Chains A and B, each alone.
Chain A
Amino acid sequence: MTFRNELERKCFEVAKRALGEGVVIEHNKTIQIESALFPEVASFKGPPSKEVDVLVAEVLDQPKVVLLVSCKLLSRRAEPAHVQEWCAVVQAMNKYSNGTLYFGLVVSSTGFTSGCEAWATSHNLGIVPPIKGRSLAFAEDAVLRMFERVLVALRARLRLRFDDLSSAPAFFDFVYRFVADFEGHEEATAGGRYFVIPKGWVSSFGEMYSAIGGLLIEDLRAVANGTVIVLSGGSVLWFNGARVEFGQYSETDTSSSATARCGKNLDMEPCTLEFIKSLVVGKKITSAADFGDFVEFGLDRRLNLGLHRSGFHLISTEEPIKVHRL
């Protein structure tokens, strides 16, 4: 199979991965209509026909629903004419179809100018990436992930119900709902410090605390490249100085394999890991803080447990400090 450009090849691979068979690329496919007396088909040449490059994805077999995707690899953002052209193509295909329902989608790695939204909305066309309230450029990788998310969701959605998406702007809105959330995601994950394991999803401090807050400490371990807290409910948190990973426990990844350097009280008096364990195992996580070089967790509102790259510290938070030294 040949491809017009790199974006088309990547979109094809994404569509194959998301939908399996039933995905083809057609180049110079001729769309022909009977009358060109409509503004939507102004880009059709007489006799009213048009050659297009299209990624055809059969999303549903019974009834037959086909997604027509236009992959725009442009140096600037796609303009209304690009969307208008695809509106005409999808409209023509639906008008002369023999029972097949066609949906249209335009993928532009450089995004869209604001005038595109009116055309896409009124003609029920999906656009990836979305046009949001403020300017935000998405990386090509993010655009492809949006495309894949839409394809997977569309197939699942059409199996439940498909007729309500055929009237404008239902399909536009459907696509928008699945790609608009990427904006918050891309912003929140720009740092790349927190990760959910084993999925490897980029996460945030807030999500980390939501996942581990209230859990009980079952064990502390020092591993080759970091320190680990084993928590109740099969959860684990791993810190290596640059990354904080949390999620489901895996014995192979967190088996104890290194010597921990441990300290206690504010002056970091040396102590053993066993000493810290004897005080924290069974305690509940009640707060968290990220200090960069180390992360610290409040336990039962009376201890602070710190995780460093190569060890732990433990401090009592009760007053007066001298009376409550560990």
Chain B
Amino acid sequence: MEQVILVDDQGQRLDADVLVEALRREPQRILADDEVGLVLYVGDLNLYTMKPTESGEFLAAPVTEISRPRFSSRMLRKQIGATVLSVTADAVFVVRDGNVLKKVRAQKLEPGMVLASGEKVYR
């Protein structure tokens, strides 16, 4: 299951699994519940997801739907600088390659690469 960090409008962290189990009892919120997975509408709850950036910081983005795919994207653990992140295999990072920048997917991110932010990939 993809790691999702959810917080409310007060910045308090919420357990995504508990929230999904509670909200799925409200049928009007269910936008999809099929062989691919479950998607719930949460646009009225003022929730935010904390997305990791390539610099290791987190960016809060408002959430309108929570998706629970039955077969999610492969997750990888990457250490960038001093931070260890869980990212999907297709997450895109911007790395320095000589004098140019290029985009590299997490699954092709290798130790020794340096991100545009100056942080080094360790593993």
Contacts and interface: CB of A to CB of B under 8 A. Distances in A.
Given A133-B91, A201-B35, A156 B30 contact: yes
Interface in A189-218: 189, 196, 199, 201-204, 207
B118 interface: no
B31 A181 contact: no
B32 A160 contact: no
Contacts of A188: 70-71
A253 interface: no
Size range of the interface on A? 20 to 34
17 contacts: A149-B32, A156-B41, A157-B65, A159-B28, A164-B64, A174-B65, A178-B31, A178-B32, A178-B39, A181-B36, A184-B72, A185-B71, A188-B71, A196-B35, A201-B70, A203-B70, A204-B71
Size range of the interface on B? 20 to 34
Interface in B10-56: 28-32, 34-37, 39, 41, 43-44
Contacts of B32: 149, 152-153, 178
A322 interface: no
B90 interface: yes
Contacts, number: 75
Given A133-B105, A157-B31, A161-B44, A149 B67 contact: no
B70 A185 contact: yes
B92 interface: yes
Given A153-B39, A199-B35, A177 B65 contact: yes
B83 interface: no
A153 B69 CA distance: 15
A50 to B, nearest CB: 33
Contacts of B41: 156-157, 160-161
B30 to A, nearest CB: 7
Interface of B: 28-32, 34-37, 39, 41, 43-44, 64-65, 67, 69-74, 89-92, 105
A202 to B, nearest CB: 7
B34 A149 contact: yes
Contacts of B91: 133
A149 B67 CA distance: 13
A20 B37 CA distance: 23
Contacts of A202: 35
Given A133-B92, A149-B32, A156-B30, A207 B64 contact: no
